Amino acid sequence: MPFAALVLTVFGLVAGVIVAPPAGASSTLVCKGFTQCEANGYSSFGYGPDNYRKMWWRMYSGHNCTNYVSYRMIQRGMSATRPWSGSGDARNWGVVFSDKVDQTPNIGSIAWWSSNHVAIVQKIIDKDTIVISEDHYGGDFDWRKIVRTGGGWPTGFIHLMDEQLVTTVAPRVKADPKVGVEVVGSHGTWNHLPSGYTYRWYADGVAIPNATGVRFTPTTKQFGKRLTLKVTAAKTNFMTGTSKSLVSVATAPGDFVTNTAPTVSGTPRVDGLLRANAGTWTPQAESTRYTWFADGVEVPGATSRLFHVRAAQLGKKITVVSTASAYGYTDSPQTSAATAAVAPAKFVVARDPKISGSAHPGKTLTVDVGAMTPSSTRTRVTWLRDGEPIDGATATTYVPTAGDAGHTIGVKVSYARDGYTSVSKTVTMRAPIKVVPQFKVRSMSAGHVTIWVTAPGLSTVYGTVTLSHAKTDPIEHKLTAGHTTFAPSWLPTHGERTLTFSIPATRTTNARKITMVVHFG
C-alpha cells in the first residue's frame, strides 16, 4: 500500500481485510504461514522470513497483499520503483493497469479483486479453478485454491510479469550447415513443457523468407552465411517464450550430384579429334571445364572440349575429367570411361613415286618420291635389283652398271611419321637393264664367215643372229658360246661381199643390226 496519512492507511487496510475474498465453498486453504508452506513444498519465493519486513514499491512492510505482490513483480524483473503514482491500494491496481486486465488467468499473473485484494496465480487447474499465493494485512502468508462458483473468484487478472516460458537448454542447429543439405533444429529445453513451438531461421541475422520449420535446407543464398534458429514456445496460461540458438559456422558449399558421367566420342587415333560430352549434374553446372589425360597422366594444355590426339598419345588410353562449377557448390570433377588405346594414323597417298631415266648401264635413273598426306613425312629410298635391295643404293638417283644387265631395277620408297603406320610404295621399271651387243666378223676359210657377239658385263651372249645379203633369203643361226659360223653356197671363196648381220633384242641386250664388207680368200 502507498504511504498515506495514518488514519487513512489504517482505514484502507481495515477495509481491505473486511472485503477480502471469502473463504468457504469458493476456496480451500492449502497451507498457511511461511514455515508450514515451505515444509509442504509451497514456496514464498524468498518473501519470508525476512523480505516481507521490507517495503516494496513503497507498500507497507509486514504481512500485506500489495507488498507481497510488489515483491514478486520486482523479483520477476520489474523496476524497484513503483510504476505509477497515486494510491497503492489493491482496489486501485486494476484501475492503474486497466489495459492489462482481462478475465484469463496465467501462471504468474496477478489475481485482482476490486474489493481490495491482490494475489499471485500459482497454478491453473482448469478454467474454473486456480491456486494462488497471497499475504494478508494483519494476517499471514498462505496458498489457497479458488473455484469460480461461490463468489470468491477474482474480478480480473492483471498481466504484468506473467510466468514466461524460458529455456534451460537453448535451441541449437544440430549440424554444420551446408548448401543443399537439410539441417534440423532442436527446440531446446524449457522451464515448463511447451504445448507447441514455432520456428524462424536467420542468415547473418536476417530472417530467411518462408524458413519457418524445424528443418531447413540452405540454398546458395545462404552460402557463406551463419545460421541462427529462433524458437518461440507456447503453453496455455504462460507467456510465450523465445530463444535463439548459437550462431552456426558459415554455411559450407554444397555437393553436386552426378546424374550422368562425362563421355568421350570420336575415334582414338593419332591426329584424330575427340570430343568431351560433359555429363549432367544436380544442380545444373554454371560452367564446366575439361582436363584430358593419357594413361592417367594429364596432357599439358589440353583443357578444351575438343582434344586433338597427338603422336605422344599413341598406344595410350584417353580419359577426360569434366569439372562442374556453380556458385555455392564445391567443384565436382568426374572422369569418363577410358577409350581404347590410341591407334596409329594412316597415310593418304597424294602422288605415287615414279622412276625416270634410261634403262642402260651408265645412264642415271632418278626417283620422284611422290607425296603423302600429311606432307611433313620422312622418306627413305632403297633401289632394288630384281626386288632385292642394292647395297648402298639409297639416294634418289642410281646409275646402273653392266652387272645390272638383264636385271629389273626398281625402287622402294618408305614413308614414316610419328604416330602413323609406316607405309612403302615400290615402283619397277618396265624393262630390265640392257646392253648394246658388239659384233666381230671374220672369214676363217673360203666360203665361210664367223660372227662373235659380245656385250659389256655379259660373259656370254645368247640368242640368234640373222645373215642376209641382197636378194637372198635370210639365214638365222643360234649363237653357241656367243658365236656362230655361216657357210651358205652363195658366199664366195675369194673376193669380198657386203653382208648384213642382225640380232633381236633379248632380256639382256638391245637389238642391233650392222651391214659390213667381208673379205674372203
CATH numeric code, 167-254:
2.60.40.2700
Burial of residue 7 (CB within 10 Å: 0-12, 13-18, 19+) is exposed
**Domain regions of the chain by residue span:** 6-158, 167-254, 257-335, 348-428, 438-520
Q: Using DSSP bridges, classify how beta strands 397-398 and 409-416 pair: parallel, antiparallel or unpaired.
A: unpaired
- CA 161 vs CA 57, 81, 114, 120, 138: distances in Å: 15, 15, 20, 10, 26
Mean of pLDDT values over 310-335: 97
Residues of the chain with pLDDT > 90, as a percent, come to: 83
CATH of the structural domain 438-520, one choice from 3.40.50.1700, 2.40.160.40, 3.40.50.2300, 2.60.40.10? 2.60.40.10
Cα 346 from Cα 55, distance rounded (Å)? 110
What's residue 6's pLDDT? 29
Give the start-end residues of each E strand in 388-511. 388-389, 397-398, 409-416, 423-428, 438-442, 449-454, 464-468, 475-478, 483-486, 495-503
Give the start-end residues of each E strand in 4-155. 27-32, 101-102, 110-113, 117-126, 129-134, 142-147
What's residue 14's pLDDT? 31
- Where residue 307 falls among pLDDT bands split at 50, 70, 90? very high
Cα 407 from Cα 198, distance rounded (Å)? 107
Would you give the DSSP letter of residue 222?
A: G
DSSP labels, 259-313: EE--EEES--BTT-EEEEE--EEES--SEEEEEEEETTEE-TT--SSEEE--GGG
- Where residue 508 falls among pLDDT bands split at 50, 70, 90? confident
**Residue 270 near residue 309, CB atoms below 8 Å:** yes
Q: How many residues does the chain have?
A: 521
Q: Where are the alpha helices (DSSP H) in 330-480?
A: none
pLDDT tens, residue by residue, 44-70 = 999 999 999 999 999 999 999 999 999
pTM: 0.64
Mean of pLDDT values over 83-102: 96
What is the identity of the amino acid at 234? A
- Where residue 400 falls among pLDDT bands split at 50, 70, 90? very high
DSSP labels, 54-81: S-STTPPSSS-HHHHHHHHHHHTT--SS
The helix (H) or strand (E) run that includes residue 8 is: helix 6-18
- Tell me the CA end-to-end span of the chain in Å, nearest whole number: 187
| Confidence check: pLDDT of 393 > 60 | yes
**Region of poorest pLDDT, from 69-73, 294-298, 375-379:** 375-379
What's residue 167's pLDDT? 95
**Residue 227 near residue 201, CB atoms below 8 Å:** yes
**Residue 180 near residue 255, CB atoms below 8 Å:** yes
| Confidence check: pLDDT of 185 > 90 | yes
Cα 481 from Cα 463, distance rounded (Å)? 10
**Residue 413 near residue 367, CB atoms below 8 Å:** yes
- Cα–Cα–Cα angle for 453, 458, 462, nearest 5°? 50
Q: Where are the alpha helices (DSSP H) in 379-506?
A: none
CATH class of 257-335: mainly beta
- CA 477 vs CA 274, 474, 487, 516: distances in Å: 74, 10, 11, 18
Q: Take residue 365 and report the three cell numbers written for it.
A: 635413273
**Residue 370 near residue 354, CB atoms below 8 Å:** yes
Distance of CA 183 to the CA centre of its chain: 23
pLDDT tens, residue by residue, 228-284 = 999 999 998 888 999 999 999 999 999 999 999 999 999 999 999 999 999 999 999
Mean pLDDT computed over every residue of the chain: 92
Number of other CB atoms surrounding residue 512 within 10 Å: 17
Location of C-alpha cell 564445391: 330
Would you give the DSSP letter of residue 98?
A: G
Cα 506 from Cα 214, distance rounded (Å)? 109
Number of other CB atoms surrounding residue 328 within 10 Å: 20
Closest by CA to 101, choosing from 122, 80, 118, is 118
Q: Take residue 222 and report the three cell numbers written for it.
A: 545462404
Cα 235 from Cα 190, distance rounded (Å)? 11
Cα 322 from Cα 334, distance rounded (Å)? 5
Closest by CA to 511, choosing from 465, 448, 477, is 465
> Comparing 257-335 with 438-520, is the CATH topology the same?
yes
CATH numeric code, 348-428:
2.60.40.2700
